[in-house]
């Protein structure tokens, strides 16, 4: 490290500040840490001016961004904050982006569209020395960045949480993915559970999507009758796919149906989840509803920041 203290930076008017406070508290149990405010001034025409409120010269800095903000505000404020850190002569700068917005635009899926995930990666790589995120939507995005990207997996935290709070649910369990793209996440959960002697079945959904946000046909491949089913996904946006998946699973004779989505957006509310018994999400996106149960990623992020600062291995977090 260039300095003994870890410096966390966040906008005090955002949800990232609360996250920074909790992460700082955890880190302080092992080494020095302080939080510095990123002040955002807005001009009359809505231009924004970013200022780092304290001297951070030669310190290793971790900019924690609020993924609950509007994507365009998140993008501009991330870049402007990183540029301000560069102008402030910070040491190593890590962009902590709990949810990497625009990550669903990772390929050219139709003619004449922007691969916006690549644009975001190029811009952030100009100013940050490293990026830290949770459950990256598409693994290939790591290759978009010109700086190291550490992708933290939430499934070990979630499995430990379920073992402690809902051990009965883990009996006679099937882990379900809504489509083939989510199968890797489902297998990751299953592999983690096998370390505790629990061997769940895997079920994969097959869907036809006529247009973005709609699902017209849905089938499940795998054992679900008379079993507890845990539907896992990285992002819950409208929730239509998960709701349709839960409906098919319920009709297939499942017992309890729980859902976990790392990043819960819930752009169409919660009424569509009538077949779901319980919804879990992480706190990478702020949640104001009592209809979801929060599994905090702050201890995981704090440990990752500590390991980055001290040069220890991050892969050991998942062993």
Per-residue pLDDT tens listing for the chain (319 residues): 445 689 999 999 999 999 999 999 999 999 999 999 999 999 999 999 999 999 999 999 999 999 999 999 999 999 999 999 999 999 999 999 999 999 999 999 899 999 999 999 999 999 999 999 999 999 999 999 999 999 999 999 999 999 999 999 999 999 999 988 889 999 999 999 999 999 999 999 987 666 665 656 788 999 999 999 999 999 999 999 999 999 999 999 999 999 999 999 999 999 999 999 999 999 999 998 899 999 999 999 999 999 999 999 998 877 6
Q: Domain 155-295 belongs to what topology?
A: Rossmann fold (3.40.50)
Q: Mind giving me the DSSP string for 6-20? A: EEEEE-TTSHHHHHH
Q: Mind giving me the DSSP string for 63-96? A: EE--TTS-HHHHHHHHHHHHHHHHHTT-SSEEEE
Neighbours of 32 (CB within 10 A): 12
Which residues belong to CATH 3.40.50.2020 in the chain? 6-153+298-318, 155-295
Region 6-153+298-318: CATH code: 3.40.50.2020
Among the listed residues 18, 28, 39, 207, the single catalytic one is 207
Pairing of strands 6-10, 201-208: unpaired
Return the SS3 of 37.
strand
CB burial class (10 A; 0-12, 13-18, 19+) of residue 87?
A: exposed
Is 207 catalytic? The answer is: yes
Sign of CA dihedral 312, 313, 314, 316: negative
Spatial separation of the C-alpha atoms in residues 233 and 210, rounded to whole Å: 20
Q: Residue 275: what are its φ and ψ, rounded to 5°?
A: -95, 5
């Amino acid at each position: 490290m260039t300095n003994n203290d870890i410096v966390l930076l966040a906008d005090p008017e955002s949800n990232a500040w609360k996250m920074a406070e909790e992460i700082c508290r955890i880190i302080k149990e092992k080494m020095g840490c302080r939080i510095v405010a990123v002040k955002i001034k807005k001009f009359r025409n809505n231009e924004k001016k970013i200022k780092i409120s304290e001297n951070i010269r030669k310190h290793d800095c971790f900019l924690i961004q609020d993924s609950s903000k509007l994507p365009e505000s998140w993008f501009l404020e991330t870049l402007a904050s990183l540029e301000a850190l560069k102008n402030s002569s910070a040491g190593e700068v890590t962009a902590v982006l709990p949810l990497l917005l625009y990550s669903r635009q990772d390929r050219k899926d139709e003619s004449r569209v922007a691969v916006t995930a690549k644009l975001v990666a190029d811009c952030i790589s100009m100013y940050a020395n490293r990026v830290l995120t949770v459950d990256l939507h598409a693994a290939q995005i790591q290759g978009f960045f010109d700086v190291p990207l550490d992708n933290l997996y939430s499934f070990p935290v979630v499995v430990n949480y379920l073992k402690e709070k809902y051990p009965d649910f883990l009996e006679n369990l099937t882990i379900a993915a809504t489509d083939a793209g989510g199968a890797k996440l489902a297998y990751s959960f299953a592999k983690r559970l096998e370390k505790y002697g629990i061997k769940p079945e895997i079920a994969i959904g097959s869907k036809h999507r006529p247009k973005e946000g709609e699902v017209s046909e849905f089938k499940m491949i795998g054992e679900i009758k008379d079993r507890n089913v845990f539907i896992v996904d990285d992002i819950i946006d409208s929730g239509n796919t998960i709701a349709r998946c839960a409906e098919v699973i319920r009709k297939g004779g499942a017992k309890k149906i729980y859902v976990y989505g790392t990043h819960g957006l819930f752009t169409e509310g919660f009424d569509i989840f009538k077949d779901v018994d319980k919804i879990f999400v992480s706190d990478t996106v702020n949640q104001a509803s009592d209809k979801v149960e929060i599994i905090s990623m702050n201890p995981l992020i704090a440990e990752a920041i500590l390991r980055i600062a001290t040069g220890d291995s991050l892969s050991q977090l998942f062993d």
